[in-house]
């Protein structure tokens, strides 16, 4: 994965109230305003993830870890999984796929199977960083009538079930909705934060400010190609956890875990005490166990989207296998970072 660049696709957006201009009203230079490093607002000191009050475990184990949403819910989640001596399992599905009613049933299957947290994907018409499985699902959701406001309905549904929801979105739909409005509505829905795969820290001042004002975790990606300077800059801006993309290229399930993943996690831990989650390519419980031995979270997307063609039962069965994998992992390198 090269350093991400915002793309021009759109998701229909109908915010109830907008305090920022719509994407169509922005000049090209305003779509991704470049900020100098000195202009980035100072972030609070990174969370150390020291164990705090926690409870629960298992499929509905998010209950007790949510702590009202926001960054605190992620801190509580990782404190609990660290106390249990295992990595967290984070599952991804696009909101509204194949349509909203069936989408909710699929998200329920993620919870019932044993996900500790859920990435709620914002469907986007130009998902340049996603492979064919995820891209096709996103476009199907849009064709079925998905609108930006629907993502908050899904987030609220997940939060009401006691599991930590995190949105994953390209930045342009957020700009179209309005960064401040999006952060406000995500926080009000019980969301913990947002992963922005095509937004680099240098250009994130507006989103960082909005996320901080509403207590959300901004989560950025690092890749095997990231330099030490880039990793330091990126992890310093993250809250909640750091997303380590274990391979270069687009999303998609793979036959084997990337050999670069352990090194990337170790390089991140040289710069942060935040948990590090590894994603891209995980498809089996054995792979989840392998990644869970050195990472703080195992992130699974494409395999779950592919399984969703078999309905909620197929998704629940795959998640159960993945959840068993993180629980049998030997945490040889995970735990408290240096």
* Beta strand segments in the chain, E: 88-94, 117-121, 164-168, 193-195, 217-219, 221-222, 242-245, 276-279, 297-300
State yes or no: is 108 an active-site residue: no
d(CA 35, CA 204): 7
d(CA 165, CA 189): 9
Identified catalytic residue from 119, 126, 185, 198: 119
Identified catalytic residue from 75, 116, 130, 198: 130
d(CA 284, CA 263): 21
CA dihedral angle for residue 311, residue 254, residue 249, residue 217, rounded to 10 degrees: 60
φ and ψ of 309, to 5 deg = -65, -20
- The encoded tokens of residue 303 equal 């395999």
Residue 285 Cα distances to 39, 93, 288, angstroms: 43, 18, 5
On the 0-12 / 13-18 / 19+ scale of CB atoms within 10 A, 50 is: exposed
d(CA 283, CA 186): 29
Do residues 300 and 91 make contact, with C-beta atoms less than 8 angstroms apart?
yes
Q: Which is nearest to 43 in space by CA: 235, 184, 196, 175?
A: 235
Strand partners, 279: 245
State yes or no: is 130 an active-site residue: yes
Q: Which residues are catalytic?
A: 119, 130
């Amino acid at each position: 994965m090269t350093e991400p660049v915002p793309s021009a696709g759109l998701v229909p957006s109908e915010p109830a109230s907008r305090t920022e201009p719509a994407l169509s009203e922005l000049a090209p230079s305003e779509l991704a305003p470049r900020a100098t490093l000195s202009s980035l607002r100072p972030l609070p000191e990174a969370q150390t993830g020291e164990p705090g009050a926690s409870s629960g475990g298992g499929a509905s184990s998010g209950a007790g870890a949510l702590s009202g949403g926001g960054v605190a819910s992620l801190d509580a989640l990782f404190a609990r999984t660290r106390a249990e001596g295992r990595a967290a399992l984070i599952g991804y599905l696009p909101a509204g796929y194949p349509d909203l009613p069936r989408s909710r049933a699929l998200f329920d299957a993620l919870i019932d199977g044993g996900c500790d947290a859920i990435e709620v994907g914002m469907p986007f018409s130009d998902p340049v960083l996603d492979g064919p499985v995820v891209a096709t699902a996103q476009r199907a959701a849009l064709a079925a009538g998905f609108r930006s406001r629907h993502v908050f309905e899904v987030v609220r549904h997940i939060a009401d079930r006691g599991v930590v929801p995190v949105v994953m979105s390209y930045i342009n739909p957020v700009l179209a909705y309005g960064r401040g409005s999006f952060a406000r509505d995500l926080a009000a829905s019980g969301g913990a934060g947002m992963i922005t795969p095509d937004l680099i820290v240098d250009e994130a001042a507006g989103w960082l400010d909005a996320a901080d004002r509403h207590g959300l975790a901004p989560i950025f990606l690092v890749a095997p190609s990231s330099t030490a300077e880039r990793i330091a800059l990126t992890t310093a801006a993250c809250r909640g956890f750091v997303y380590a993309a274990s391979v270069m290229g687009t999303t998609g399930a793979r036959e084997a875990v990337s050999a670069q993943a352990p090194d990337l996690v170790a390089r991140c831990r040289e710069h942060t005490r935040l948990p590090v989650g590894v994603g891209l390519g995980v498809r089996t419980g054995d792979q989840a166990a392998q990644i869970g031995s050195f990472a703080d979270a195992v992130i699974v997307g494409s395999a779950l989207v592919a399984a969703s063609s078999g309905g909620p039962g197929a998704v629940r069965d795959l998640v159960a296998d993945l959840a068993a994998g993180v629980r049998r992992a030997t945490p040889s390198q995970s735990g408290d970072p240096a």
